[in-house]
Amino acid sequence: MYCEVFGATVFGLSAYPVRVEVDAGPGLPCFEMSGYLNNEVREARERVKIAIKNSGFKINPQRIVINYSPADIRKHGTGLDLPTAIGLLGANGFLSNEKFEDIMFIGELGFDGSLRPVRGCMACVFEARKKNFKYAVIPEENRDECFYVKGIHIISAKNLKEITDLLDADTFPEDYRKNYTEKCENNHTHIADFFDIKGQDSAKKATLIAAAGMHNIIYIGSPGSGKSMFAKRIPYILPPMSHEEKLELTKIYSVAGKLKKDSVLINSRPFRAPGQNITETALLGGGHHPEPGEITLASKGVLFLDEMTQYKSAVLEALRQPLEDKSITVSRSGYSVTYPADFMLVAAINPCKCGFYPDRNRCSCSDLDIRRFFGKISGPLYDRFDLRIQTEIVGFADMFGTPSSVSSSMTTKEMREKVCASHDIQKKRFAGRKTSFNSEMTEQEIKEFCILGPGEMSLMESLYKKMSLTARGCNKILKLARTIADIDGEEKIRCSHISMAAVYRNKAL
């Protein structure tokens, strides 16, 4: 007897419907599977047979042939266990085949028939809605992440027996979301305040500018000067994500298997700080089965590289293209997949190997040692940092001064308000465009939104010659100046904005 059921497989960040065709009948007992399958899918034959037996169904020895279509897409993961089991039960007459055409089944089966969570369930349900399926049957532990997928009736179940009982019933139960309490994942359980950082007014201003325009920033300073403290506080001053951004980020984390249990939606911008031994594949994504890397997991948030000179050169150089394109295409033998890479790069480095240059009373590094130390960061990569900030060792007066002596320091709340106001200005400016922030402006948009008066044009010409700027360097200064003007609430870019942008851009290694 023949039965046809629909499931889905995840490839990259997208899901693809899979038609599971099951034929069971007389013949030499066997269990054959075809359709460009990996080992995880092929191993389903044992999981499915035992799960069906332990769910109260008896299937006699027979010839079973299952095809997973389309055959040109590689199927991996364990999410095809459930449609395989339903198809096998349907082919043996335990279920009516008429009920399967509008349903997508997603889930892994345990030996006891329990339905277990799978990666990328949210992406599969999105695809089911896109392909006009009326229902999606998913594991109960995946239902939180699928809460906001509207336009499709979602049924969550604990085990195979529960699903077969539902299919035997005349009507399906109500969507579980009807009486469901919304829950969101918030990574920021404790908000670190910029007010806790003593002194460093210049670095705080630069951090505010970087967050306001989503500019890449690098902190250069001695050990203990607060570089990591600045970086870890940046997510707290970034504005809230839009609903669409939250959905996109949640989908990425669902595919990567990094969603926390009981999380409906990722509600806060990510902060990813990979270790210095990270491989190129772990950073960019890919692998035997394509999975998103750290730069994709940092989308809409911050990627922080602490002690950047300690990372492998190949890993650092791999960042250059994603920083420009805001996406990364990973090509391997047998597949090519594109991931988003819309992140803000934040880095921290010491000025030399011992960390105290240019204080020659404490630094014993030779000029050659210093050049070798910074030689690990190539010029083209360093050029992609919009702001290069020198952090200073905090003096005793700033560290232990009276409250009045540090009252000028901005708090995280105050900085966040300024950043949000700046983002609102950019949202109106770039309405209807692919560009979202000043840092992403194209050449044409720079000409349109960075109009300079005679005085400003003369200053830019002087800076161009004095700083030996490249075309990219010139554009970076204009983008920074546009962000500084937005923070000040100015419609036009002034000479003071250009001068400040040049100062923050001019720090040389």
Please determine, for residue 500, whether its predicted confidence score (pLDDT) is greater than 60. Answer: yes
Alpha-carbon distance 495 to 459, whole Å? 7
Residue 507 lies in a domain: no
Q: Indicate whether 61 and 118 sit together in one domain.
A: yes
Question: What pLDDT was estimated at residue 374?
Answer: 82
Residue 491, both tokens: 């419609």
Q: Indicate whether 27 and 121 sit together in one domain.
A: yes
Question: What pLDDT was estimated at residue 74?
Answer: 87
Percent of residues, the chain, with pLDDT higher than 70: 93
The b/e string for 350-383 (b: 16+ C-beta within 10 A; e otherwise) is: bbbebbbbeeeeebebeeeebeebbeebeeebbe
Alpha-carbon distance 57 to 90, whole Å? 12
Q: Indicate whether 175 and 208 sit together in one domain.
A: no
The Cα-based distances of 56 to 83, 94, 436 in angstroms read: 18, 11, 56
Statement: the pTM of the whole predicted model exceeds 0.85: yes
Residue 187 lies in a domain: no
State the total domains in the chain.
3
Residues in the chain: 509
In terms of Cβ atoms closer than 10 Å to its own Cβ (0-12, 13-18, 19+), residue 202 is middle
Alpha-carbon Rg for the chain in angstroms: 28
Which is nearest to 164 in space by CA: 273, 73, 79, 88?
A: 88
Q: Indicate whether 86 and 140 sit together in one domain.
A: yes
> What tens digit of pLDDT does each residue of 257-283 get?
888 876 678 888 999 999 999 999 999
- Contact in structure between 347 and 384 (CB atoms under 8 Å): no
Q: Indicate whether 37 and 166 sit together in one domain.
A: yes
Write the CATH number for 408: 3.40.50.300
Q: Indicate whether 236 and 382 sit together in one domain.
A: yes
Residue 470, both tokens: 């490249």
- The rounded mean pLDDT for the chain is 88
Write the CATH number for 91: 3.30.230.10
Question: What pLDDT was estimated at residue 52?
Answer: 96
Question: What pLDDT was estimated at residue 190?
Answer: 56
Question: What pLDDT was estimated at residue 401?
Answer: 62
Please determine, for residue 141, whether its predicted confidence score (pLDDT) is greater than 80. Answer: yes
pLDDT, mean of residues 477-491: 95
Contacts of 330 (CB under 8 A, 6+ apart): 284, 285, 286, 290, 336, 337, 338, 339
- Contact in structure between 274 and 307 (CB atoms under 8 Å): no
Residue 425 lies in a domain: no
pLDDT, mean of residues 88-106: 89
Contacts of 300 (CB under 8 A, 6+ apart): 241, 245, 248, 249, 269, 270, 342, 343
Q: Indicate whether 43 and 170 sit together in one domain.
A: yes
pLDDT, mean of residues 462-478: 90
Residue 433 lies in a domain: no
Residue 134 lies in a domain: yes
**What does DSSP say about strands 63-69 and 14-25: parallel, antiparallel, or unpaired?**
antiparallel
At position 388, the amino acid (one-letter code) is R
Question: What pLDDT was estimated at residue 406?
Answer: 37
Residue with tokens 């075809």: 34
> What tens digit of pLDDT does each residue of 437-464 get?
999 999 999 999 999 999 999 999 999 9
pLDDT, mean of residues 412-420: 92
DSSP 266: B
Q: Indicate whether 45 and 173 sit together in one domain.
A: yes
Q: Which of 377-391, 393-407, 478-492 has the highest mean pLDDT?
A: 478-492
Q: Indicate whether 209 and 317 sit together in one domain.
A: yes
Q: Indicate whether 401 and 279 sit together in one domain.
A: yes
Residue with tokens 């229902």: 135
At position 159, the amino acid (one-letter code) is N
Alpha-carbon distance 373 to 350, whole Å? 9
Q: Indicate whether 205 and 279 sit together in one domain.
A: yes
Which ranges of 214-319 does DSSP label H, i.e. alpha helix? 227-237, 243-256, 280-284, 294-297, 313-317
Q: Tell me if residue 29 falls in helix, strand or coil.
A: coil
Residue with tokens 């919009």: 386
pLDDT band at 402 (very low <50, low <70, confident <90, very high): low
Residue 89 lies in a domain: yes
Lowest model confidence (mean pLDDT) among 26-30, 94-98, 163-167, 449-453: 94-98
Percent of residues, the chain, with pLDDT higher than 90: 60
> What tens digit of pLDDT does each residue of 150-189 get?
899 999 999 999 999 988 887 777 776 665 555 555 444 4
> Backbone phi, then psi, for 31, in 5-degree steps?
-140, 95
Q: Tell me which residue range forms the domain holding 445.
A: 441-502
pLDDT band at 507 (very low <50, low <70, confident <90, very high): low
pLDDT band at 395 (very low <50, low <70, confident <90, very high): low
Q: Indicate whether 275 and 355 sit together in one domain.
A: yes
- Contact in structure between 412 and 190 (CB atoms under 8 Å): no
DSSP 22: E
Of 156, 179, 202, at which residue does a domain stop?
179
Residue 435 lies in a domain: no
Alpha-carbon distance 4 to 104, whole Å? 11
Lowest model confidence (mean pLDDT) among 25-29, 123-127, 370-374, 390-394: 390-394
Residue 452 lies in a domain: yes
In terms of Cβ atoms closer than 10 Å to its own Cβ (0-12, 13-18, 19+), residue 483 is buried
> What tens digit of pLDDT does each residue of 207-228 get?
999 999 999 999 998 888 888 9
Please determine, for residue 473, whether its predicted confidence score (pLDDT) is greater than 70. Answer: yes
Of 122, 145, 179, at which residue does a domain stop?
179
Alpha-carbon distance 387 to 381, whole Å? 13
